[in-house]
Structure 1
Amino acid sequence: KRIIDVAKIIHTQHKDRVPKNMDALVSLPGVGRKTANCVLVYAFEQPAIPVDIHVHRISNRLGLVETKTPEQTEQALMEKIPKKFWLQINDTFVMYGQNICKPISPMCNVCKIKKSCKYYATKNAA
């Protein structure tokens, strides 16, 4: 139902074109910042930072940010990371989060960036 509703809105209000800006995208039913950022990155190759649980977790573990919510993480990363890298952040962090920096039992022993990782330093301080 929601997909049909969104399709109708895109048809009537956007002349059958998916909006290319954040405000218009998040005004669509069921579209939040993460989805809107994914549309901007993957459909239009516009610089944006989709923040899912992997991006949020890894950004905090590395010490790039100290945030509690994905929205805070997005804002902090946008302030810290040069725009030319924004398109790559989601794919890189999601893949790393699924394979190495897992939520439970991260594989720090094989992590190539553990020497720069705040989580690893804290976990191994003793």
Structure 2
Amino acid sequence: MNLADTGLLKGREAVTDWKSFDYHEIDKYPETKWRRDVRYVADGNIVTSAALTSGIDAVLYVISQQLGEPMADKIANEMHYPSYSFVKSPKVDPYYVDRTELIFTFNQAYQWNKKRAGVFL
């Protein structure tokens, strides 16, 4: 969203995290073609990624373009990155928020002064 705010994504394809799609933040940027079906998008000299782990894919993609595929593969192996296949093909099934994401909404709505955090199982 920060990159879109600068105007650098006008007329380009881009991707952002799944929360932005479902909370209509992308509606502010109608001149950008937003993708839901990839982990990262390389459009010219700008690479955008969907979220944290997708950012790893995007960085490995940039490394593969700048320093070659063997170097990107070596780095992925050294960091034991299990999803290197996304570097060659970032395609994924689109993610949509459903009622199972309710905990995310509650966490955003109610920011308590917590000293501990846990995971509801």
| TM bracket, shorter-chain basis | under 0.3
- TM-score w.r.t. length of structure 2: 0.27
* TM score, norm. by length of structure 1: 0.26
Name the structure where helix makes up a greater proportion of residues: 1
